[in-house]
Amino acid sequence: MHIYRFTLYTLLSSVLGFIGSNHSVAAPPSSLNGWNMVFNDEFDGDHLDKTKWNPTYNWGHTHNHRAYCVEENVSVADGKLIIKGEAKRHPQAPATCKSGDKTYSLDYTSGAIDTRGKFEVKHGYIEGRFKMPKQLGTWPAFWTLQDGWPPEIDIFEVPHSRNENHYYLHYTKTDWYAQHGSAWDHEASFGGVHKGPDKSADFHNYGVEWDDQFMRFYFDDQLVATYNRPAELSQLSAQYIIINLAIGGWAETTETPIQVTSGNPAYLECDWVRVWKRNETSALSTDQIKLMSLETGTCLQPEGNYGLKLGDCADEASRAKIVDLGGMYRINFGDQVLEVPDESKDAGHQLGLWGWNGKGHQQLSLSRVNEKDGLVVTMKFAHSGLYAQTGNSGLQQNGLPNSDAAYWRILQGDELPASTCNNENPIPVNVWFSAGRLHIYGLEGGANQATVSVYSTSGVCLHRSVVETSNPFVDLDLPEGIYVAGVEIENNDKPFFQKIVVGK
């Protein structure tokens, strides 16, 4: 039998969880299994860490733009990586360079770094925090490569307007790749353009997450786009990371002339780069689960053709299946999927069930709530950023409340919550709540006193006191809901637990 327990660890976890939630520390996307950081550079020193980075492109000083990239234009100061682009020809630069069928005059000097031969990663989450140069005609980029091209992941490129960043995967057309392998002259891509704030005015976070099925792009830790493209993603082997500040090339147009001039250099600044891989140990022992609301102590169930309700967790109607979509999830009740009907992004919109169509209103990130006992999660819809929760008008999507309404305990297999388990009654005690008072009867039989504890359904101890057998009452001010009462009798090492209901 699973017993809710209040320990010092639970208390510390709650306190630390609160503190952590109020720090602006970036983290990888929500993952039920958790993540392990496998690479990071916080740029805290006074020089580039060459155990992690090559001080220019690993293939040389030039690429597909007009700047000759050199080590002296890469610096680390004040906790930041700084790449400087300036309007002067480097004394060692040739007059021109070629890239594909284009020739570029090398009238500028800039910088680039990469991790080839020092760090590479296949699958995971790569994120960096950057501030773009303000000058148009510059082309800052945060991207990845492997030996051979394509493929290439562009976490961001900012070639034109400073309120836009491009994100892409470049790959070889799949029909050609299946027969011949990678080929630059059969390149294709998918991705898009994120429009938002002026990205040269402040620092922002840019990230990409991928596995063998999905690729997702993020801006300021919010999901921007999801692609389910396993054939294209199969072309990716371990990737190394590149950061560079290009000048000209794609960025130089009649609308965006190069604004880097003598005495007006451009700066690409990076606060940090971090890489995580998903923990290989799954938090789930089975995909057959039940979802119990911590607020009500009851479980999600289908209602009618497309509706949802909360019911007894012991009922087989509560049984669902969780399907991993590569870090995102869908929740199946039979052939139907938990969703936000009409793809609504409105707070308060009711939840329902429908056939799977793969869109964001049917995909959820499950974020583990570590300060709660057991496997407790929040469920955030990918399309709206709102959470599945209980409300006054039933089940809905909404922002996180100051209550247990958005917390769900995942019950695995035949597991049931403690409040529904039958005690063997090791002590003949009866507990109930009425009129603001907890009544404990059955304490007679030699014991002089008992310790009484009251827990929320999430396992948090709300009250603990010692009562005398001559006065077996505890006055409590409890909000309406379901609780678990624990009674420990003097000289008896078998505590008694019983569900109590307040105001139902």
User: Mean pLDDT highest for which of 236-245, 292-301, 359-368, 484-493?
Assistant: 236-245
**Is residue 2 in some structural domain?**
no
Instruction: Measure the CA–CA gap between 15 and 361, rounded to whole angstroms.
Output: 33
Q: What is the pLDDT of residue 504?
A: 56
pLDDT band at 2 (very low <50, low <70, confident <90, very high): very low
Say how many domains are in the chain: 3
pLDDT band at 447 (very low <50, low <70, confident <90, very high): low
Range in 20-24, 394-398, 428-432, 433-437 with the lowest mean pLDDT: 20-24
Q: What is the pLDDT of residue 45?
A: 93
* Type and span of the H or E element at 355: strand 352-355
Does 233 share its domain with 90? yes
Range in 28-32, 242-246, 321-325, 344-348 with the lowest mean pLDDT: 28-32
**Is residue 25 in some structural domain?**
no
Percent of the chain's residues with pLDDT above 90: 66
Q: Which of 379, 400, 416 is the last residue of a domain?
A: 416
Residue 414: other Cβ atoms inside 10 A = 10
Q: What is the pLDDT of residue 322?
A: 96
The angle formed by the CA atoms of residues 30, 317 and 296, to the nearest 5 degrees, is 60
Q: Which of 367, 401, 416 is the last residue of a domain?
A: 416
Q: Which long-range contacts (CB under 8 A, 24 or more apart) does 387-393 make?
A: 388/338, 388/351, 388/364, 390/293, 390/295, 390/296, 390/310, 391/348, 393/348, 393/350
What are the pLDDT digits (tens) for 85-107? Answer: 999 999 999 999 999 999 999 99
Position 494 pLDDT exceeds 70: no
CATH of the domain at 429: 2.60.40.3080
Does 432 share its domain with 496? yes
Taking residues 134-152, what's their average pLDDT? Answer: 97
**Is residue 289 in some structural domain?**
yes
What are the pLDDT digits (tens) for 276-288? Answer: 999 988 889 899 9
Q: What is the pLDDT of residue 277?
A: 96
CATH of the domain at 65: 2.60.120.200
Q: What is the pLDDT of residue 20?
A: 33
Do residues 136 and 40 make contact, with C-beta atoms less than 8 angstroms apart?
A: no
Percent of the chain's residues with pLDDT above 70: 89
pLDDT band at 424 (very low <50, low <70, confident <90, very high): very low
What are the pLDDT digits (tens) for 215-228? Answer: 999 999 988 998 98
Does 170 share its domain with 88? yes
Does 263 share its domain with 286? no
Q: What is the pLDDT of residue 421?
A: 41
Strand partners of residue 496: 487
pTM (2 decimals)?
Answer: 0.76
Does 177 share its domain with 321? no
Does 331 share its domain with 255? no
> The domain containing residue 221 runs over which residues?
35-278
Does 81 share its domain with 143? yes
Position 327 pLDDT exceeds 70: yes
Does 380 share its domain with 433? no
Q: Which of 397, 416, 435 is the last residue of a domain?
A: 416
Does 472 share its domain with 407? no
Q: What is the pLDDT of residue 418?
A: 58
Q: Determine what percent of the chain falls in helix, strand and coil, rounding each to the nearest 5.
A: 10, 45, 45
Does 110 share its domain with 147? yes
**Is residue 24 in some structural domain?**
no
Structure tokens at 75: 């610096």
pLDDT band at 312 (very low <50, low <70, confident <90, very high): confident
**Is residue 28 in some structural domain?**
no
Q: What is the pLDDT of residue 445?
A: 55
**Is residue 30 in some structural domain?**
no
Does 240 share its domain with 385? no
Name residue 259's amino acid.
Answer: Q
**Is residue 109 in some structural domain?**
yes
Q: What is the pLDDT of residue 423?
A: 43
Average pLDDT, the chain: 88
**Is residue 23 in some structural domain?**
no
Position 422 pLDDT exceeds 80: no
Does 293 share its domain with 353? yes
In our burial notation (b when 16+ CB lie closer than 10 A, e otherwise), range 113-151 reads bbbbebbbbebbbbbbbbbbbebbbbbbbbbbbbeeebb
User: For residues 432 and 70, which has the higher predicted lDDT (pLDDT)?
Assistant: 70
What are the pLDDT digits (tens) for 195-212? Answer: 999 999 999 999 999 999
